[in-house]
Every structure is written in C-alpha cells, then in structure tokens.
Amino acid sequence: MKRLIKSYLLNTVLCLSWISILACSSDKEATPENPGPIAKTLSANVEKIDFQSTASTSEFIVTANATNWTVAASEASWLTFTPATGVSGRTTITVKASENTSSEVRTAVITISSSEVAAVKVTVSQAANTGGLYPNYNTNPIVADATGMSSTAVQLAAKMKMGWNIGNTLEATGSETAWGNPKVTKALIDLVKANGFNAIRIPCAWNQYANGTTAKISEVWLDRVKEVVQYCVDNDMYVIVNIHWDGGWLEKNVTEAKKVENNAKQKAFWEQIATHLRGFDEHLLFASANEPDVKDATEMAVLKSYHQTFIDAVRSTGGKNAYRNLIVQGPSTDIEKTNQLMTSLPTDSAANRMMAEVHFYPYQFTLMTEDADWGKMFYYWGAGNHSTTDPSHNPTWGEEADVDKFFLMMKTQFTDKGIPVILGEFGAIKRNLTGDALTLHLKSRAAFLKYVVKQSRVNGMVPFYWDAGNLGTNTMSLFDRSTNTIYDLQALTALQDGLK
C-alpha cells in the first residue's frame, strides 16, 4: 500500500511539473520553434480610384487573413461593390460608379472593415459632367512612378530658396516674342541661376495654341514649353508651370455661368500638359491658375471646383504625376481674400503634396503710375526712408507692419499646417524721378525687396520675383535679356540680401 501511495505521489509531482513547464513556455516570446499566434492583416492594393463622369468600372484586390470583412461607402449610393463581403485570402472587388450627371466632382471613401483588424480605406473621385464639350485627352495613363518624387510639399518648399518669373514671355499674344522679349534661352536661365535664384516660374498661355472646338493643344507649343522646362531642370532648378492669364478664359470667369465650360477646358488642358511633361521628376511643379478673379464665397466655390478638376486631371495621367507637388491659387491671389475665403482646399489622392499661392503688390508703392482722387502714388517705403521734402508721396500703409501682418496670416492659415505657400509674384517698379527723390526712392525699393524676401522665408513662404523683361522707368526687370547681363544690380542685391 505504501508503495502504491508513493508511486501515486511521484506521478502527481511529475504531471504538475510538466503542466508548469507548458505554462511557462506559453509566456515566452515567439520563436521560430514557438511562433505564437499569427497577427491578423487586411490590405488593399490601391489607395485611390479616379472615375470619369460616365458610368465606369474599376477593380482592386483585398488581401486578408482575417476571418471575414465587409466593404461599404457611406452616403455614396452611386457606388456598388461585388462582392461586398469576403474571407481570408485574395479577393478582387469590382467597383461600379453610375454616371455623374452634375457639374460637381464627387468623392467618397470605401471602407473595408473587420472586427479583427483595423479598417482600410480607399478614396474614390468621379469627374464632373462637362457635357462632352471636349474629348478625353488622358488616353495613355500609366502606372504610378515614385522615382525621383520623394519630397513632400514641405520638403520641396525648403529646397526652393528664391524664385524668378520669366514674366509674360510664354503667354505673349501671338508668339513668344510678340511683347518685345527675345525667345527664352538656356543662357538666360544660366544667368538667373548664377545670381541666386534656384527656382523659375513659367507663366504660360495655352488657349491661343489650342483648337477652339476640341481644345487640343499644339504639339509644337507643348514641345517648346517642355524645352524651357528642361533648361531649368538641367540647372538643378525647380520650375512651376501654370495656366496664366491666357486671355482671361478662366481668370475672368470664375462664375456659375462658366463653371461647366471652364471645368471642361481645365480638364482637357491639364490632361495634355501633364501627360506631355510627365517624365520630369520633382523639380517640376504644376499650378492650377494665376490670379483667378474672385469676389465672394460663391465664386470661391467655383474656383475650388477648377482646382479640383486640375488636381484630378494631373493625377489621372499617372507616372510621376501621381506624386507631383501641385499649387492652388487663393482668390485673386490676394492675401486678405485668401485668409477670409479659402477655408478649405481641394481633395488630393497624394498625401502632403499641395501648396497654396498668393501674390503681393502693395499697389500705391509697387504698381500705381498716376495719382488718383482716392490716393497718391507712394515713392518711398520703410523705416527711415520717408521724405521730408515730398511728404505727399510718403506711404500710409503697406510697410513693414503690414508685411508682417499679411505674411503671418499665411503662416497661420497654411504653413503651420504643413501647407507651404508660394509667393508667386512680388516686385516694385522703378519710378521716373530725379535727384534726391530718385535716390530715396531706390533706397526704399531695395528695402522693400529685401524685407519681403526675408519675411517670406521667416513665415514659410517661397518668394518669386516678377520680371517681365521690359526695361526703363515704371518697370521692375533685373536682367537685360538681349545681352544676358544684369540690368538692375541694386534690386538684385537687395533680393540676395533678403536670403542672408
């Protein structure tokens, strides 16, 4: 009996020891020999789907080891999914969008969810209905290509120190030389680079080079713009291509009456521009417009639709354009209007790749050429630069305190939120004065240019000086393009000093 009890106790101890070993081993970290539980996963092979306005179909793949999942898009009855549920493995989801009969771009978010793992989201955008005004020019979209496109908007803006405008040369009515400038050459771009600028803004016309019925842009003109862009990129310069005034078809028609027609042209033009320039890396940026004339919130909503069409058109062409940094303009590119009316930005399938643009010309000092009954020209600017002999032309606004106030608005509204701001144009004309008045005016002008550059950088903005190429009084050109030499050394030095 004693032997049986002893044997029983021994077996009990051995069993308890084995249970203890198993329990302890279960607390150990996973190893190749003891891998532990497998983590649940759920993913989709796309982040964004872009539909044309017509009834369209697209597909994406869900990969999961979750037991089950569902697909849904809240408040988007225009989308259907097949299948709408799935289990572990790879499943192809067919997404169908009904025709968009409205003049508004519409968006939705598809959510793939499971109780076992975090949800996955796919953004969907469908173009506005443009009434079939123009053909589809996105005829060869390609797979997204991130090569050479690694910089976010914030990172790219930090690389752009100071920019220079080619002026209206590539939008001159009739031809590139119609407004008195020679054709843009690589020698000119080399000169600009050698004098402290590492970015170029190219204001472009497209409408005069396009078929009025089909909106097809001349291949010769597309090639010419591409050639000028290449001059810049070859110099390791960043370059902005936009649709400028261009006869005012968009700029002067930010209205409900023109909304459908202009969105159709915006789409057609940007599909062609973006496709033709698609091979450039992140040195190239696109800008939706120039100075779109907007007076109120209603027109701001129309402008936002133009910007959305621009973004969707560029992204739809694929390749490097899927990641390209894009620029949208504030209403009239006026800082105060932008602060008041541009309360939200368009949606974008590429995260953190958008910049805003404003311009800065305190009119009475920078552009006004005749005294008016409502106010006089300002010849002088800045602390210590007011005239004691010509007080009627001293400034009453637009000096350092106003620069600080306006630029801080943009910092608070955009740059502090990770949206860089392009100061796409600024400058001040050189007036037809003599003697001490001219000396003080030029000193004031230099002070203005230096201060604008300095405060731009302080507030996270990238300044682009406006240079139309014309020489003489009431102009603001830095370079003589006929000789490729410096024309206004004082102004150029002031700009350079602003970067120090």
164 belongs to a structural domain: yes
Q: What is the mean pLDDT of residues 329-348?
A: 97
Whether 307 and 445 map to the same domain: the answer is yes
Q: Which CB contacts under 8 angstroms, 24+ apart, belong to 70-74?
A: 70/112, 70/113, 70/114, 71/110, 71/111, 71/112, 72/110, 72/111, 72/113, 73/108, 73/109, 73/110, 73/111, 73/124, 74/109, 74/111
Residue 494, helix vs strand vs coil:
helix
Question: Which of 126, 161, 189 is the C-terminal boundary of a domain?
Answer: 126
Does 420 reside within a domain? Answer: yes
Out of 110, 126, 142, pick the residue that ends a domain.
126
35, part of any domain:
no
**Is 282 annotated in the active site?**
no
Residue 193 belongs to a domain: yes
144 φ, ψ (degrees, to nearest 5): -55, 140
Q: Is 425 a residue of the active site?
A: yes
The secondary structure of the chain in percent helix, strand, coil, rounded to multiples of 5, reads: 35, 20, 40
Arithmetic mean of pLDDT, 169-186: 96
- What does pLDDT average to over the chain? 91
Residue 337 lies in a domain: yes
Q: Do 224 and 121 share a domain, yes or no?
A: no
The pLDDT assigned to 262 comes to 97
Average pLDDT over residues 95-112: 84
Question: Quick one: average pLDDT of 333-353?
Answer: 97
Catalytic residue among 176, 251, 271, 291: 291
- The reported pLDDT for the residue numbered 426 is 98
With 90 as the cut, is the pLDDT of residue 16 above it? no
CB 110 within 8 A of CB 122: yes
Q: In this model, does residue 27 exceed pLDDT 90? A: no
- How far apart (Å, rounded) are the C-alpha atoms in residues 204 and 49? 30
Same domain, 330 and 365: yes
Within this chain, do residues 178 and 85 fall inside the same structural domain, yes or no?
no
Same domain, 75 and 112: yes
Closest C-alpha to 53, from 109, 123, 122, 105: 105
Containing structural domain, residue 82:
42-126
- 229 pLDDT above the threshold of 50: yes
One domain for residues 333 and 212: yes
Higher pLDDT, 228 or 37: 228
pLDDT of 76: 83
Question: Would you state the pLDDT for residue 227?
Answer: 98
Q: Which residues pair with 465 in a beta bridge?
A: 164, 426
- Same domain for 206 and 245, yes or no, is yes
Instruction: Give 384-421 as a DSSP string.
Output: T---SS-GGGS-SSSSHHHHHHHHHHHHHHTGGGT--E
In a domain, 118, yes or no: yes
Q: Which of 207, 290, 301 is nearest to 251 (CA)?
A: 290
Contact present, 105 and 31 (Cβ < 8 Å): no
Verify that 341 and 283 share a domain, yes or no. yes
- CATH (domain of 118): 2.60.40.10
- Residues 101 and 173 placed together within one structural domain of the fold: no
Average pLDDT over residues 435-453: 98
Q: What is the pLDDT of residue 167?
A: 96
Question: For position 205, what pLDDT does the model report?
Answer: 98
Final residue before a domain boundary, out of 79, 107, 126: 126
**In a 10 Å sphere around its CB, with 0-12 CB exposed, 13-18 middle and 19+ buried, how is residue 258 labelled?**
middle
What does the buried/exposed string (b/e) look like for 454-477 if buried means 16 or more CB atoms within 10 Å of the residue's CB? bbbbebbbbbbbbbbbeeeeeebb
Q: What is the arithmetic mean of pLDDT over 266-291? A: 98
Q: Is residue 141 part of a domain?
A: no
Q: Phi-psi category of 141—alpha, beta or left, where left has phi over 0 and alpha has psi -120 to 50?
A: beta
CATH of the domain at 372: 3.20.20.80
pLDDT digits (tens, 9 = 90+) for 413-422: 999 999 999 9
- Phi and psi at residue 164, in whole multiples of 5°? -135, 135
- The rounded distance, in Å, linking the Cα atoms of 48 and 435 is 63
**Residue 278 to residue 317: CA distance in whole angstroms:** 8
* pLDDT band (50, 70, 90) for residue 256: very high
- The span from the CA of 176 to the CA of 164, in Å, is 18
Give dist(CA 107, CA 123) in Å, integer.
7
Beta strands in 187-237 (DSSP E): 199-202
How many DSSP H helices and E strands does the chain contain? 11, 17
Q: Do 158 and 296 fall within a single domain?
A: yes
Band of residue 244 on the pLDDT scale cut at 50, 70, 90: very high
Section 253-268 average pLDDT: 97
Instruction: In whole angstroms, give the CA distance from residue 238 to residue 150.
Output: 14
Q: What is the mean pLDDT of residues 271-299?
A: 98
pLDDT confidence tier of residue 57, bands split at 50, 70 and 90 = confident
Flag whether pLDDT at 103 surpasses 90: no
Region 134-155 average pLDDT:
97
| pLDDT the model gives residue 3 | 45
Residue 492: what pLDDT? 98
Q: Taking 60 as the threshold, does the pLDDT of residue 53 lie above it?
A: yes
Tell me the C-alpha distance between 174 and 224, whole Å. Answer: 15
In a domain, 3, yes or no: no
Could you tell me if 160 and 122 lie in one domain? Answer: no
By DSSP bridging, strand 85-97 and strand 56-72 are antiparallel
Total number of domains constituting the chain: 2
- pLDDT > 80? residue 18: no
Q: What is the pLDDT of residue 67?
A: 86
Q: Do the Cβ atoms of 126 and 100 come closer than 8 Å?
A: yes
pLDDT for res 33: 57
Does 109 share its domain with 240?
A: no
pLDDT tier at 156 (50, 70, 90 boundaries)?
very high
32 pLDDT band, cuts 50/70/90, is: low
Q: Reply yes or no on whether the pLDDT at 23 is more than 60.
A: no
Q: What is the pLDDT of residue 7?
A: 47
Neighbours of 340 (CB within 10 A): 16
